[in-house]
Amino acid sequence: MKHIKASDIEEMEKIYRLNLVNSCTGYKSANLIATRSESGNPNVAVFSSVTHIGSNPAMLGFVTRPLSVARNTYNNIRETEYFTVNHIQDKMIEQAHQTAAKYDEEISEFNKTGLDEEYLDGFHAPYVKQSEVKLGCKFVNEYHIKENDTVLVVASIEHIYFDEGIQMPDGWLRLDDAGTVAVNGLDGYSLPSLLDRFHYARPGQEVRSFFSKDGK
């Protein structure tokens, strides 16, 4: 098995280091975060750092890239408080990836990528029409990560939209039925396939599957 030490990582060429460190931590969520500035200009960008924070109250978080340069998504959220999180489906990975390009602030990635913006139930920020799972979020707090000048943004989940066909009776969403993809590193897109789903683990009890007839 190959062994790489911290000192080796520090000496690596930049792109090689980026690819290694961004992929060695495992698959990550693939989402488009959409915002709209105070002046009404929409913005959408791909993020692989969106994560669950809590269910009661319902909250999520994501980490910005270093704020040493202007970040339209972050700036729009701080101005308006609102943004949406939109799952990336297998049918839209090329358009989603293109949102990572560095367009000028006044240029909307929606117009450049072929993704369609839609506004639902009076929410300030746009959703991505092609997305099968969409969340409307409101800024709650932020935490500066001084080691690399990034920010963890924490938000409440105000709205959730999805096709009812992917939801199980206990509330769980079967995301592979929606075609939701995951990110491998910075630029690899994968389509996960569900292997199994298990009941809550307890000491002294056998692992039980939700899908077997006898529950084992």
pLDDT (tens, 9 = 90+) of the chain, 216 residues, equals: 999 999 999 999 999 999 999 999 999 999 999 999 999 999 999 999 999 999 999 999 999 988 766 678 999 999 999 999 999 999 999 999 999 998 888 889 999 999 999 999 999 999 999 999 999 999 999 999 999 999 999 999 999 999 999 999 999 999 999 999 999 999 999 999 999 999 999 999 999 999 876 645
pTM: 0.93
Contact 115, 58 (CB under 8 A): no
Owner of token pair 């409307």: 136
Owner of token pair 């090689």: 16
Please state, in angstroms and as integers, the Cα–Cα distance from residue 197 to each residue in 163, 180, 181, following that order: 20, 17, 18
**DSSP H or E run through 95:** helix 93-98
Contact 60, 155 (CB under 8 A): yes
The CATH number given to 6-190 is 2.30.110.10
Contact 96, 46 (CB under 8 A): yes
Owner of token pair 């989940």: 157
